[in-house]
A and B are shown apart, each in its own frame.
Chain A
Amino acid sequence: MIAMAIIIGVAAGVLSGLFGIGGGILLVPALALVLGLDHVEAEATSLLAIIPVAAVGAWRQRSYGNLDVRSGLAIGAFAAVAAVAGVLLVNVLPVELVRYAFAVLMLYVAWRMAVTAIRQLRAEPDPPLPDGQ
């Protein structure tokens, strides 16, 4: 069980570094299903575990020259406040309906991301073929 949790932890970290996400998508199930925490504890514990992971990732990215410190700090501060509003909205909105709308929106965004990525890949000049091929 511990070994499984460690393996999933490493995988969550790799996803975090590769994609710039927290890794909760793997940490929450690992905490709940492997280590036996209840849902609320798993979410809360994942949130704590993510802090050093994201901090180390941001620090590495900074040394690679990719980090916009001003943007990261400002967005994080706004997001911290807005998350409270999001939690409160759960009680007001027809969440089931909004959930499906959000899922559809995410699929659309996935499609847009894929299209721009493929366009970028095609724009990369291919190495010239040798004569006669």
Chain B
Amino acid sequence: MTSPRISQLAILGVATGIFSGLFGVGGGIVLVPLLVLWIGFDERRAAATSLLAIVIAASAGAATQLIYGNVDFVAALTVGVPAVGGVLIGTWLQQRIPVAVVQLLFSGLLVVVAVLVAFE
């Protein structure tokens, strides 16, 4: 499968960054649906690509927050280490669930986030 054009990648990145900066939602919740509905990635490829994009974007954001001194390292380890275990389970699970089912579950997650955004 071919990679999207650089202009498409720029639009995807800018849309993801602006919406997550504006509403405090994670990039993945914006990026994954765009990759699926616009670029035509399946749910696995979209999730994989989104995770790498998050590494880059979150690193930039975390670096800024480190400078401001807002990061609690002990708390980060307390939730982060179990979450690394969880992501191994999640990616393993994702390869074993039909892509359309994962996509259906994702649309449920979107509804939850929409409600959280509206009533924050």
Q: Is the interface of A mostly helix, strand, loop or mixed?
A: helix
Given contacts A13-B83, A21-B29, A64-B95, contact A70 B3 (CB under 8 A): yes
Given contacts A45-B75, A48-B62, A109-B110, contact A21 B22 (CB under 8 A): no
How many residues of chain B are within 8 Å of chain A by beta carbon? Answer: 101
Among B51, B60, B100, residue most surrounded by chain A Cβ atoms (within 10 Å): B51
Bin the interface of chain A by size: 35 or more
Offer 26 A-B interface pairs, CB within 8 angstroms, sorted by A. A15-B86, A16-B87, A17-B87, A18-B102, A20-B46, A20-B49, A22-B27, A23-B26, A44-B68, A47-B58, A47-B65, A48-B80, A53-B84, A55-B55, A56-B87, A56-B88, A74-B6, A76-B55, A82-B14, A86-B21, A93-B22, A103-B115, A106-B117, A114-B104, A116-B36, A117-B104
Interface residues in chain B, defined as those with a beta carbon under 8 Å from any beta carbon in chain A:
1, 3-4, 6, 9-10, 12-29, 31-33, 36-37, 41, 43-62, 65-66, 68, 70-73, 75-95, 97-118, 120
